[in-house]
Structure 1
Amino acid sequence: MPAADMPLIVDLAGRDDELRAPLDDLRLGRWSAARDLLRRTGPDWELRTSRSLVLSVGAGSLGAIKAWLSEEPFSADALMMWARVLTREALRAMDEGRDRDLVLQAGAFARDACFGAVGRWPEDPVPWVDLLRLAKLPVGRGGLRLLDPYFIQRLQLWGQSIEMNRWDEAPEKALFPGPWPLLHEADRRHPGSREAYHRMREYAELRAPWLAVDFARWASGGALEDSASALHMLPLHAFVTEYQRRHGSGEIGALSFWTSDQIRHYARRARFGWFESTPPKQRSRLSLLDLNYLAFTLVASGEDGAAAVFNEIGPYATSAPWETFSTSLRRDWHSEFLRMRASVVRPRVRHR
C-alpha cells in the first residue's frame, strides 16, 4: 500500500523501466536503443502499441526517426515509427490552427507512411491505429476512405454506421458513420486494442460528445466476455470529457455528476471487469493512464476499491484526469491527486 504522502513522479516512461534509456537517446538524436527495444517487444501488440506511442511523443523532432529510416529503409519498426511521428506532426499542425492545406498535406504524408508500414508488416495493428488518428483531420466524410489502403475492395462499407452486434452485417442499430473499417482492421489484428478504440472514441467526440459516450458503452459492452479487457475503461474516459463540457458550461455540479447511478455502475464494472480481473502479477502491464482514471472515478463517485488502484499507481501520477477536474474547480492537479489519494490511503506511520 502506498503511503499517503508518497511524492509524485510524472514521467513519460511511467513504470516501464525499459523505456527510459531509449527515450533519453531519442531526445539526443540516437535511435539504436529504440530499435532494440521494439525488436525485443516483437508481436506483443499491446506493448508494441503503447511503447511506440510513448517513443513518438518523447522523440521531439523527427530527426532521430528519420535517420533510423534512412539507415534501415526496409525495417518494419522504422517504417512504423516514421508513421507514428508524422501522424503526431499532422495532428499537432491541426491543433495549432495551421492553414488547412498545410494540415492536409501533413496528413497525406502521414497516411502514405502508414500505408508503407502496412505493406511492410501486414500483421502489425499500429499503422491502422495511426490511420484512425488521422481520421480526426478535416478531410471531410468522403475523404475518410482515402485513409484506407484497401478501400476499393470494400467501398460499400464506407459512410455506413456500424451494426451494434456484428462487424459483418448490415447496420440496424447504428451508432454513427465513420472510419469503422479502420477500427475493424486494427481490432482484427489486435482484438480489443486499447489505443484503437480510444482513437475511435476521440473521433466520435469531434462529432458530438454524447456520441463518444454511446460508443464507449457499446465497445465496453462487447468486452464482457473478455473480462480483463481495457475496453471496460472507455466509458470512464468519455465521462471525464462529458463532465468537462457540462461543468464548464454550468449545466451540472461536480458532486451530482460523479455520484450518478450511471457513473457508479461503470466505475464498478471497470474495477471488477478490468482491474480486479487482472492477476496481480500482470498489473504492471496495465495502462498507467487508465489506472489514474479508475482511481479518480472510484473516489469521485464514492465507490470502494480505490486504495488498491492507488497502490498499483504508486508515485506515477498522470496529469489526466486530475487536471481536468482540478482546473474546473480552480485547484492544482498535483494537490488534487494527493488529496484524493490521502482520502483512501493511510498516512505512513513514522517510528522513532
Structure 2
Amino acid sequence: MPPQRDVHGTPDDMMTVIVSPVGADAALRTALEDLRLGRYAATRDLLGMTGRHWALRTSRSQLLAAGGEPGVFKMWRDEEPESPDAAMMWARVLSRAAVDAFRSGKSEHIVSRATRMAAQACQRASDLVPACPVPWIDRLQLTQLPFRPETFDPHAPARPHPWDMLPAEDVRRHGMYHRGPWPLLHEADIRDPGSREAHHRMRQTLMIHSGLAAAMDFSFWLVSKRLFAPELLMLPLYSIMDKYRREHGHGQVGALHFWQRAQVGHYACEAYDRWFAAIPADEYPWLSMADLSHLAHALVATGENQRAAAVFRAMGPYATAQPWQDINASLGRSRDWRDWFVTTRAATLRRHPAPAA
C-alpha cells in the first residue's frame, strides 16, 4: 500500500506557506499529532505499514523522534518490550537526547550517561532487526559527541586498523584521506545503499571534528563517484550553505554575490538534472522537504528559474525554514522569511507556469 498523502495542486501565487518537514505525508502527520496527545498507536501502525522500506522507515522515524514527546516512546517501549519498532524509536530518541545534552552544555556525567543509554538502545534495536539501518545511523549521530567514535561500533575489535580510515586503495584512488566513522557509514550503507540520513550524519561529524573543509571535501567527493542514490547530489548544497553561514552569517559584505558563484549553479543544476528531474510526479510527496527547499533556493539564487518553478510545484504549499530563514536574517531584512519565500515562489511560478497537460 503506498503511503497516504495530502492532495495539493500547484501552489497559488500568494498561497501562505505551511512550514513543515513532513510535507504531504498525511499518515506521518497523523502519527505526530497522536504522539503530542500522549498516544503511540498511530506511530505503531505507521511503522508497521512502512515495513522494510528502509529509506522511508529512516526518514519517518527521524521526524517522529524530532516531533514526538520522549516519554511516549518510553511508555511504548515499556509496554511492548519485544516490539522492534518501539526499540528502534527508543534508540532514536535517546541518541537525539544525548547529542542535545552535549550541545546544551550539560555536565560530562550527564552526557556520558545519556550516551551509554543510547548506545545500549542501539544495540537492542540492532539485535531485534539486524537488517535495519536506523540503529547504525543513530550510532553515526553519536559520533558527533566528544568520545572515541569506535566505541559506538560493536564490531570495532574485528575491523582492520586504523579504524577511522578508508582502505589505503580508496585513499590513493579517490584522495579521501579524512578520518571519520567510515565503518558505521558502511554498515548503514549496506543495509540501505545510499542512505540519505547516514551520509548527512557523516558530513556533520566531519564538520564537527575536522572542520568545514573536510565536510565539503566529503560532499564533493561523494558526488564525483558513480552514485547509486542520486538524492545524495544534494549534499554539496548543504555544505555550501554551511560555508555561507560561516562567511556571511552576520551580513558580511558580499553575501548576495555568494550565491552567484559558478560552483553553486553547477551543483544546483546537477542535483536538479540528475536527481529531481528523473522523479515521477506521484513520488513528490515523499521527497525530503528540506532537500526541496534547499534546491529551490539554490536554483532561484543562480537564475535557474524554470527549474526552480518545477521544484516549487513539487513542494505544494510546504517548505522548511532553512535555508530561507538564515539567509533572510543574515541580510538584515526586517520582513519575515516566509514573506520573502511566498513572493519569490509567486514570481517564479508566474514567469514559468506549469506546462499544459
TM value normalised by structure 1: 0.91
What residue in structure 2 maps to residue 218 of structure 1?
Answer: 221
Q: Deviations over 1:77-130 (max 9, x none)?
A: 111000000011111111211112311221111111111111111100001111
Q: Per the alignment, do residues 16 and 223 of structure 1 end up closer, same or farther by CA in structure 2, a change over 3 Å counting?
A: farther
CA contact under 8 A between 2:21 and 2:288: conserved in structure 1? no
State the distance in 1 between where 2:104 and 2:349 align.
40
Question: Structure 2: how far apart are the matches of 1:77 and 1:26?
Answer: 15
CA distance in 1, matches of 2:167, 2:317: 40
Alignment of 1:140-155 (within 5 A): 143-155=148-160
Taking the aligned partners of 1:25 and 1:249, their CA distance within structure 2 comes to 39
Compute the RMSD of aligned alpha carbons.
2.1
Once the two structures are aligned, what percentage of the paired residues are identical? 45
1:187 Cα deviation (Å)?
Answer: 0.6
Aligned to 2:62: 53
Q: Are the aligned partners of 1:175 and 1:211 in contact in 2 as well (CA < 8 Å)?
A: no
* Paired residues of 1:42 and 1:48 also in contact (CA < 8 A): yes
Q: Given that residues 296 and 340 in structure 1 are in contact (C-alpha distance below 8 angstroms), is that contact kept between their aligned partners in structure 2?
A: no
C-alpha distance in 2 between matches for 1:283 and 1:162: 37
Structure 2 letter corresponding to 1:117: A
For 1:162 and 1:240, the matched residues in 2 are separated by 30
Q: Name the aligned partner's letter for residue 70 of structure 1.
A: D
Partners in 1 of 2:291 and 2:25 — Cα distance?
15
One-letter amino acid of the structure 1 residue matched with residue 66 of structure 2:
V
Counterpart of 2:3 in structure 1 is none
Deviation at 1:336, TM superposition (A): 2.2
**CA 1:157–1:279: 2 relative to 1, 3 Å:** farther
Runs (5+) with no aligned partner, structure 1:
none
Structure 1 residue aligned with 2:338, among 329, 334, 339? 334
- Superposition TM-score, scaled by structure 2 size: 0.90
Distance 1:297 1:162 in 2: 35
Corresponding residue SS for 1:276: helix
In 2, distance between residues paired with 1:251 and 1:205? 22
Task: Provide the residue aligned with 1:156 in structure 2.
Answer: 161
Structure of higher RCO (CA pairs closer than 8 Å, 6+ residues apart):
2
Aligned counterparts of 2:346 and 2:261: Cα–Cα separation in 1:
23
* 1:1-352 aligned within 5 A: 1-60=10-69, 62-139=70-147, 143-161=148-166, 166=170, 173-206=175-208, 207-224=210-227, 226=228, 229-248=230-249, 253-304=254-305, 305-331=307-333, 332-346=336-350
Mapped to 2, the partners of 1:275 and 1:31 lie a distance apart of: 34
1:131 counterpart letter in structure 2: R
Deviations 1:295-325 (A, max 9, x none): 0000111124100100011111110111111
Displacement after TM superposition at 1:260 (Å):
0.9
AA in 1 matched with 2:156 = F
The CA deviation at 1:162 is 6.0
What number of residue pairs does the alignment pair up? 340
Structure 1 residues 223 and 330 mapped into 2: Cα distance closer, same or farther (>3 Å)?
farther
Q: Write the distance in 1 (CA, Å) between the matches of 2:139 and 2:234.
A: 22
Answer whether contact 2:141 2:201 (CA < 8 A) is retained. yes
The question of whether the paired residues in 1 share the 8 Å contact of 2:284 and 2:315 is answered with no
Report the Cα distance in structure 1 between the residues aligned to 2:160 and 2:116, rounded to whole angstroms: 20
